[in-house]
Amino acid sequence: MTLTASQTQETTTREVITTSYILEDSQEPLPRPSPQLKKNIFDNFSLAGKVAVITGGSRGIGYAVAECYCQAGASVALIASNAERVEQSAKALRAEYGCKVESYTLDVAQPAKCDEAIAQIVQDFGTIDIFVGNAGIIWTDGGIISDAGLNNGIEKWRRIMEINLNANYYFARSVGQIFKEKKSGSFILTSSMSGSICNVPNYQTAYNASKAGLKHMAKSLAVEWASFNARVNSISPGYIDSGISDVLDPAILAKWNSLIPFGRQGLPQELVGAYLYLASDASTYTSGSDIVIDGGYCSV
């Protein structure tokens, strides 16, 4: 029997491209099957039946994301360091949306506590489908060799790296194992435009470095976890009126507004569409991406 040109090409393709060149430990035949998506796009954005964990979830961006996820039908676990505030936030979400929301209090800079929290959440909810690493603190001491920057600067640097960057590594170890077992999941990191640019007039090298690390952590984990179909992405907000910058000099905030093409800080609610997209089945082919939402700041 003589094969046609198309049949010969198909046979050759099957023989040569059988496993991934990227994932060396994977023997899964390629191509993989595509996901079975809903016909209606709004159904693909639904989080009904899914469980989301959000660190830094008691206020600001984290709370706005939690509210969005409740509206989309998810059950939500809020993690924060302030016990009273995080429980009040959980209570408010339960009252308004009738969804399951629980609060967990811990210092995310402690690896063992992160592991314990994830284990408790799995016990309380049954699984984890979505993880949002959003907890973060800022640097307010200017240049690293300024008087303020030199005063306990090493301890302050380490603390920012622990909260902003390392904590997400601690959580990734536990959450990644859950995603691997269920062969799915979405891991979302709140980076910042500061991971791509250098802010002025406020110098904040520690913060910038921590957020740049988060962005590349997301890209790296996206490759590591692709073998079990888990997605990892980051979101890079610009200046957002979330409360985290309230301690800064008003003159600095005014300067920010003059540097933003939109002329104002963003609202946390202006970010949540991206978090919903990345958490939902609307983004099943999105991994290793960084979504910048900054009012045009990085375009200047």
Mean pLDDT score, 199-219:
96
Q: How far apart are CA 109 and CA 157, in angstroms?
A: 13
Task: Confirm whether 242 is domain-assigned.
Answer: yes
Task: Confirm whether 237 is domain-assigned.
Answer: yes
Task: Confirm whether 10 is domain-assigned.
Answer: no
192 catalytic per annotation: yes
100: Cα separation from own chain's centroid: 21
CATH assignment at residue 97: 3.40.50.720
The edge-to-edge listing of strands for the beta sheet with 130-133 is 101-105, 75-80, 51-55, 130-133, 185-190, 230-237, 290-293
Which entry of 192, 194, 210, 287 is annotated as an active-site residue?
A: 192
Contacts made by residues 289-292, CB under 8 angstroms, sequence distance 24+: 289/233, 289/234, 290/191, 290/215, 290/218, 290/219, 290/233, 290/234, 290/235, 290/236, 291/233, 291/234, 291/235, 291/236, 292/193, 292/196, 292/236, 292/238
Task: Confirm whether 33 is domain-assigned.
Answer: no
Task: Confirm whether 39 is domain-assigned.
Answer: no
Q: How many domains does the chain have?
A: 1
Task: Confirm whether 283 is domain-assigned.
Answer: yes
Task: Confirm whether 45 is domain-assigned.
Answer: no
Q: Is-above-0.85 flag for pTM?
A: yes
Which entry of 69, 104, 203, 207 is annotated as an active-site residue?
A: 207
Could you tell me whether strands 51-55 and 230-237 are parallel, antiparallel, or unpaired per DSSP bridges? unpaired
Which structural domain range is residue 218 located in?
50-295
State the pLDDT confidence band at 239, using cuts at 50, 70 and 90.
Answer: very high
Which entry of 50, 58, 156, 211 is annotated as an active-site residue?
A: 211
211 catalytic per annotation: yes
Question: pLDDT for 38-79, tens place per residue?
Answer: 999 999 999 999 999 999 999 999 999 999 999 999 999 999
Task: Confirm whether 35 is domain-assigned.
Answer: no
6 catalytic per annotation: no
State the pLDDT confidence band at 25, using cuts at 50, 70 and 90.
Answer: low
